[in-house]
Structure 1
Amino acid sequence: MSWVRHTAQASPSVVGRVLGLLGAFSTQRPVLTLSELSRRADLPLSTTHRLVRELTERGALERDPSGGYRIGLWLWEVASLAPHGAELRESALPFLEDLYEATHQNVQLAVLDGVEVVYVERISGRHAIRIQSRVGGRLPVHATGVGLVLLAHAPSEVQERVLAGPLKRYSPRTIVSPAQLRRVLADVRREGFAVSEGQIELDAISVAAPVYGENDTVVAAISIVVPVEGTDPRTLVPAVRAAARGISRVLGAPRALRAAEGMRRETD
């Protein structure tokens, strides 16, 4: 809530107030009453009432049967226009579905936003291991498989910003040493994939690979998250990398197109 207060105080404009209201919602609190919105956004109740009424009329907020408010579908429509929105998800979905069929566990697609990863798609089975990620959710780059992949291929200034820390510890296995993280990122670039074991949930292991765009730059990462017990992560690497190459090919990445052409020539 602290950042909401800072935003409201530093930017008293209407835009700042609206963003403060929208930022008051969270995974833990997806439905809020007017008084809760007023308190969390640090706005007078009268101002909150007026802005919430306008946002509800526009579809940015919706009235819950309990009388509270939640994020409306109109915001999802706007969010789908983002560069890493619908086009990326549509290109990736067939490959994510194939990857999901291999284990019926968690399959994810994520992009980099600042020093965090944002999950834009996730497929999860009924009996899949429980993890913290969700579509639209954020997690740190240093403690997730997709994050390690995205950070390894991020601009140097982004890498140095993360390495400067602090690196938050989520479990006893979380990488919190800048020197260790730097070595891991070098390994990811060299090997073409990342394995993150128990960094957030001790019983989960993630295998991730980069997705390239039309300029041969990494635009996203995919991962499969499975239970640590009874899993050899190396057995999942070929499937994850193949799915990532397939998505890269659909996105027009030259390296993926060349690889596909080379495979065709070998089979001719």
Structure 2
Amino acid sequence: MAVTDTTTGAGRLSFLDVYLCDLRPWGELRGFTRFIVEFLYFGIKEARACLFVGLFMMSVFLVPKAGMFGLPRYDVLLVIALAIQFFMIWSKLETWDEAKAIGLFHIVGFALEVFKTSGSIQSWAYPEFGYTKVFGVPLFAGFMYAAIGSYIIQAWRLFDLRIHHHPSYWMATVIALAVYANFFTHHFIGDYRWYIAACALGLYARATVTFRPYDRDRKMPLLLAFVLIGFFIWLAENISTFFGIWTYPNQLGAWSAVHIGKWSSWSLLVIMTFTIVAHLKHIKRQIHVPE
């Protein structure tokens, strides 16, 4: 089964995205020159796909712990996240359909945050005051999960992603639900993360992703993409905890690196996020492309 995106709606996108999605080769490139050009465009497309993530992480660096303009830091970060979101829609760097999907990720992530920070669980905490905290979680927290969805959606379009040997949608849904449920249930019935990971490994073992950095298609195992994205999220988590955006129990006295085991959790969360994006694209394709 091959999963493609035939409904990008390029006419509604920014000039930059139209250019990146419809690159015209400079000429026949060979050897080291081709490597450099493809690597350059791969980096440009990755940076563009990470725009929301990059701008938000920059705000984590720049907003002081004391806040700004009389607002606590958590509230400033929410204002910045909303401003980035509105800017991307206004500038056509993001379509309304993509914004709706990102809103879904925000809700899913925020629900997980509320549970994980609740009094009986307290896997981590947001120790600072904020006017926009709900059930102990600042509203900007959902945008951290939305950022993952934003990256996958943008990369899918910019790299013209095509997924080959994608598993049956119902099987992918079961794995995604199991991943999400385990984040909640492992506090009560044990952590089945590695069993779920083993099932995901078998399910996606044959799946490959074809992407186009410049003018030629390249391929890689889809599982490798999940692991790599999970690793970079783990790095971002280390940065965020270093700046005290949230803290784990072992970081209360002094900061320490987030346990490497979180890498596996993030990789599984990427699988769940990817499944949601793939389903939304599948539904949209069914609507716009008659059988």
Structure 1 length normalisation: TM-score? 0.27
Larger Rg: 1
Q: From the two aligned structures, give the one with the greater helix fraction.
A: 2
